[in-house]
Amino acid sequence: MSSSITPEPLQRLNVSSSPQERFEEYLQTRGLRQTSQRKFLIDAVFSEHEHFDADELIDRLPAKGEDNYVSSATVYRTLREFVDAGLLKSFQLDGRTVYELDYGYPAHDHLYCTRCKELFEFTSEALVGLRDQVASKMGFRVSGHRMIIQGMCSDCITKSRRKKRKQDLV
């Protein structure tokens, strides 16, 4: 079973159009125009594969008065558009909305360390097989799933064990 689990970083999938092209199609279907701010945001979001919330993205962007400044309201609105366009997925974690890249990446699940707040991605064929088996028995058609397993990562477990040694308390 463990041989079907891949904890290494997710590899991008080959897709027919870029995130920018996909978003432009989405905007056209809704009669919206592509703006320089939207273009800048899609480049900023897709420049790295990481989980983030809106405030973390805003902190990475140019400040007011600098080139390519984007207001907070525009960031929040555009992130919702990215989700609607199928470019990002969003989920709630510790009372905040977390975003991750969806377009061009395989389906996957997460381990969440409640101590250091790190999210670890993994894929598991066995998990997908079990999901499909349960759905079949229940007469359920699966359109997707999201699993976030909460606990402590190995680094935090190690740090926790070290603090409990008597020689460290002296």
Cβ contact 51:96 at 8 Å: no
Residue 49 has a pLDDT of 86
Amino acid in position 119: L
For residues 54 and 118, state if they share a domain. no
Picking from 38, 121, 130, the residue whose alpha carbon sits closest to that of residue 79 is: 38
Cα–Cα distance, 16 to 14 (Å, whole number): 7
Q: Show binding-site residues for Zn(2+).
A: 113, 116, 153, 156
Among 81, 104, 127, which residue terminates a domain?
104
In the chain, the number of structural domains is 2
Nearest-angstrom CA–CA distance, 45 and 22: 14
Q: What is the pLDDT of residue 10?
A: 77
Q: Which domain holds residue 90?
A: 15-104
**Cβ(109)–Cβ(149) under 8 Å?**
yes
Q: Which residue has the higher pLDDT, 169 or 131?
A: 131
Q: Is residue 2 part of a domain?
A: no
User: Residues 99, 149: one domain?
Assistant: no
**Start-to-end Cα distance in the chain:** 44
Q: Which of 104, 119, 145 corresponds to the end of one domain?
A: 104
What CATH code is carried by the domain that includes residue 160?
A: 3.30.1490.190
Q: Residues within the annotated binding site?
A: 109, 113, 116, 145, 153, 156
- pLDDT computed for residue 107 by the predictor: 87
Structure tokens at 63: 């400040």
Average pLDDT over residues 75-88: 97
Binding-site residue numbers for Fe cation are 109, 145
Tell me the average pLDDT of the chain.
Answer: 89
Q: Are residues 99 and 113 in the same domain?
A: no
153, amino acid identity: C
**Does residue 59 sit in the same domain as residue 129?**
no
CA separation for the pair 130, 138 (Å, rounded): 12
Considering the domain architecture, whether residues 98 and 111 belong to the same structural domain is answered as: no
Distance CA 129, CA 140 (A): 14
pLDDT band at 4 (very low <50, low <70, confident <90, very high): low
Average pLDDT of 75-96? Answer: 96
